[in-house]
Amino acid sequence: MATYALRRVMLTASVVFTVSFAAFVGFGLSLDPSFPLAFKPDQRAVVQAYYHLQDPILSRYGRWVSGLVHHGFGRTVSTFVSGTPPQVNASLGTPIGPTLVRATEVSAAMVAIALVLVVVGSALVGTFAAQRRRFRGDVGMRGLFYLGAAVPTFLIGDLLRRLIVPHQSVVNVGANFLPSSNTGWFLLGPPSGGVIGWLRHLLLPSIALAIAMIGLYARYVRSSMAVELGKPYVTVARAKGLTERRVLVRHALRNSLVPVTAVLSLELGGVVGASLAADGVFRTGGLASVFLGALGNADPFQLTAVVVMSAVIVSGFTFVGDLAVALLDPRVRLSPRSG
């Protein structure tokens, strides 16, 4: 198991490095954060020289990696030029690290809560539907599955916000989103306080994120459970006198979750992407908020940092998913092709 985990860690590190290179090159070639100084060419040239915006992209990436190792993500680009000779006041740039770490914690917590809801909800609904195949309950649930999978996350989130917390709204103040009302159990805006406070802010967007996924993965569980319940080992387990609950949960459901978990781990990039939509609707202060602010400033360094942290979240949850599959099915970690 330790060797399997080590291979996955090395794979995760290589993925994050590749994503950082692709993001830096893409943003570095497409964006110029000195654009506010378009009508001040002398000051713009000073900003471009200070941040090496005209250097070859590979040289800029090497300098960024070196700065990342020694100073973290640094500061956002400052376009304030003063003095004689003119110099960039880099201290006016906002530190990227603290804001990004906070946003990453919010997005990661939202994804984690949503994944728990998806696994539990899909297992319950899929098992119920598999036991009642060709009955009205199964047909109705399949209809709900298709409906939930068809509705986009941002629309589900907007409907939940209007139905459950219609009395709340958020006020955009710079890069921060402040709730205008704190009545009710569910709250809008960035999470605060302890575990209960975070749940009050993140549970509703996590539910919005999970609804569509439950509709999709409950179908996987249902199909897999239907196959498992028809296998000989289930008949033998029942013949030995095991309770139906034990047969379903201990044997059939565990085997059914192996392919479902594997598929879910492959689609975590889409889950994190959907969490950005939920973050935008509920204004939780996650990575979507930081990304939009950086995009408005055309800051390639901050945008690259956001993408890197998104890749870390995806890779981290994928790593956990791989370990879960290995625990559910030992053949995975013993296979020579599993690395």
Given a contact cutoff of 8 angstroms between Cβ atoms, the answer to whether 35 and 316 are in contact is no
User: pLDDT > 90: what percent of the chain?
Assistant: 11
- Residue-level pLDDT at 125: 78
Q: Give the DSSP letter of residue 36.
A: G
- Residue-level pLDDT at 175: 41
Sorting pLDDT into bands at 50, 70 and 90, what band is 139? Answer: low
Q: Is residue 164 part of a domain?
A: yes
Given a contact cutoff of 8 angstroms between Cβ atoms, the answer to whether 324 and 263 are in contact is no
Q: Which residues of 87-97 are buried (b: 16+ CB within 10 A; e: fewer)?
A: ebeeeebeebe
**How far is 245 from 186, CA to CA, in rounded Å?**
35
Domain boundary among 92, 116, 132: 92
CATH number at residue 204: 1.10.3720.10
- Residue-level pLDDT at 171: 47
Domain boundary among 92, 118, 141: 92
Tokens 């992407």 correspond to what residue?
273
Are residues 133 and 39 part of one domain?
no
Tokens 């297992």 correspond to what residue?
123
Sorting pLDDT into bands at 50, 70 and 90, what band is 138? Answer: low
Are residues 146 and 72 part of one domain?
no
- Residue-level pLDDT at 137: 57
- Residue-level pLDDT at 26: 93
Are residues 26 and 64 part of one domain?
yes
**How far is 269 from 276, CA to CA, in rounded Å?**
11
For residue 265, the enclosing domain spans 102-334
Domain boundary among 69, 92, 115: 92
The answer to whether the peptide bond before residue 191 is cis (omega within 30 degrees of 0) is: no
- Residue-level pLDDT at 172: 46
Q: Average pLDDT for residues 14-40, to the nearest whole number?
A: 90
Please spell the DSSP secondary structure of 201-266, one letter per residue.
HHHHHHHHHHHHHHHHHHHHHHHHHHHHHTSHHHHHHHHTT--HHHIIIIIIIHHHHHHHHHHHHH
Q: Average pLDDT for residues 55-66, to the nearest whole number?
A: 91
Q: How does pLDDT run across 170-216, given as a tens digit for each residue? A: 544 334 444 545 556 788 888 888 888 898 889 889 998 888 788 77
Q: Is residue 23 part of a domain?
A: yes
In terms of DSSP H, where are the helices of 74-167?
96-131, 136-150, 153-164
Sorting pLDDT into bands at 50, 70 and 90, what band is 307? Answer: very high
Number of domains in the chain: 2
Please spell the DSSP secondary structure of 189-203, one letter per residue.
SS--SSHHHHHHHHH
Q: Using alpha carbons, select from 10, 22, 14 the residue that is nearest to residue 61.
A: 22
* Mean of all residue pLDDT scores within the chain: 80
Number of Cβ within a 10 Å radius of residue 71: 10
Are residues 109 and 88 part of one domain?
no
Q: Is residue 339 part of a domain?
A: no
